[in-house]
Amino acid sequence: MVLSPHQELPLNDVVYRSLLAIRRTPGSPWIFCKKNGERYGNVRKAFEGAKKRARITDFRFHDLRHTFASHLVMAGIDLKTVQELLGHKSFEMTLRYAHLSPEHKKAALDILCKRLMKTWKEAS
């Protein structure tokens, strides 16, 4: 999948087949397109319309990138790979996008606590 003239995003088989299945107009080079097969001129406008129909509030188009990065990091994907998938030039920018859920943070602290308890038990 080409995101810009200089950036490509690899697709796994599940995503590829899913995108083909929802394709409105077979034969069009565009996955998300108008009924006549032409590409949308403004994807954000289409997103806003879909969001309104779904009655979703307090969610921006750009939040999808934050969600993507956060799920990758919480799945254990290294930050260098996340940086490349997002197309960021700097590591610092990737860190702004990758947020951990409260559950993920708690799980990390639980793991640390178990390790410390084991260490203290062994030292006694």
First to last CA, the chain: 57
The answer to whether residue 66 scores a pLDDT higher than 90 is yes
Query: Residue 83 CA to chain centroid, in angstroms?
Result: 12
Ramachandran angles phi, psi of 7, nearest 5°: -135, 130
DSSP state of 40: P
| pLDDT at position 46 | 83
pLDDT of 80-91, one tens digit each? 999 999 999 999
**What pLDDT band is residue 113 in, cutting at 50, 70 and 90?**
very high
Cβ atoms 33, 26 nearer than 8 A: no
**What pLDDT band is residue 1 in, cutting at 50, 70 and 90?**
very low
| Mean of per-residue pLDDT scores for the chain | 87
The answer to whether residue 105 scores a pLDDT higher than 50 is yes
Mean local confidence (pLDDT), 116-121: 93
How many Cβ atoms are within 10 Å of 112's Cβ, its own excluded?
Answer: 10
| pLDDT at position 111 | 94
| pLDDT at position 57 | 94
Mean local confidence (pLDDT), 30-48: 83
Question: Please, what sign has the CA dihedral across residues 71, 76, 79, 81?
Answer: negative
| Residue in this structure with the two tokens 């951990």, named with its chain if needed | 100
Mean local confidence (pLDDT), 46-51: 90
Domains of the chain by residue range: 60-123
Cβ atoms 69, 94 nearer than 8 A: yes
Which phi-psi region, left, alpha or beta, contains residue 27 (left: φ > 0; alpha: ψ -120 to 50)? left
| pLDDT at position 2 | 45
User: According to DSSP H, which parts of 38-101 are helical?
Assistant: 43-53, 63-74, 79-86, 91-97
Full-model pTM = 0.69
